[in-house]
Amino acid sequence: MIDFAKDIEQSLTTLQNGGVILYPTDTIWGLGADATNETSVEQIINIKHRPANKSFVVLVASERDIMQYVASVDLAVFDYLDKQTKPTTVIYPNAIGLAGNVLAADGSVAIRICKDEFCKNLIKRFRKPIVSTSANISNEPSPENFAQISPLIKKNVDFIVQHRQNENQKTAPSSIITWQNGEVKILRP
């Protein structure tokens, strides 16, 4: 097992204190914060110079987590997700219990069940969903690995995870879908 216990502990402390972490996900390196804390999410908006009306992706550890933060879920979406080989983010209507600045204007939320060992461990220990947005300034390309992350981003976060910093393979964002009446609509392949 890869030893990332110190990173988990420091990430937990940072998130519990309302801070922002720079961390590896199941897709690309991201900026993370407590998805239920509007002030923490605001910090990410400021770091990225991101429009405040743009929604975020939220990472959870399990299907049960989704049912806690979405008013009604078509359980068939989980069968679809089980068959996907690429990380897939689903836009769910009627989000509940999340910070308002995480949601889209229509009250929907983009959620991904994270399969990455580090992230899953962190989310389970934190017991709340975590915002995940690419570690870049808005309108700049997403970094394909840690080395490509802007020094400006690194300077403005509260904690940088050491785990996987030396990996140099290219990473890519998740697929994004909506699920309505048992039908999938692919927004980003």
170 φ/ψ angles, rounded to the nearest 5 degrees? -75, 140
The closest alpha carbon to 95, from 108, 78, 77, 106, belongs to: 108
Please say whether the beta carbons of 48 and 136 come within 8 A: yes
Q: Is 169 exposed, middle or buried (0-12, 13-18, 19+ CB in 10 A)?
A: exposed
Q: Which domain holds residue 122?
A: 5-188
Q: Helix (H, G, I), strand (E, B), or coil: what is residue 180? A: strand
Beta-strand pair 159-160/21-24: parallel
Q: Looking up tokens 């509940």, which residue turns up?
A: 96
CATH number of the CATH domain containing 129: 3.90.870.10
Ordered DSSP codes for 67-89: HHHBS---THHHHHHHT-SS-EE
The helix-helix angle for 117-126 and 5-16 (nearest 10°) equals 40
The closest alpha carbon to 23, from 152, 149, 151, 113, belongs to: 149
Looking at the structure of the chain, the number of domains it has is: 1
Please say whether the beta carbons of 151 and 139 come within 8 A: no
pLDDT in tens, the chain (189 residues): 458 999 999 999 999 999 999 999 999 999 999 999 999 999 999 999 999 889 899 999 999 999 999 998 999 999 999 999 999 999 999 999 999 999 999 999 999 999 999 999 999 999 999 999 999 999 999 998 999 999 999 999 999 999 999 998 888 889 999 998 889 999 999
pTM (2 decimals)? Answer: 0.94
Q: How far is CA 103 from the centre of its chain?
A: 13
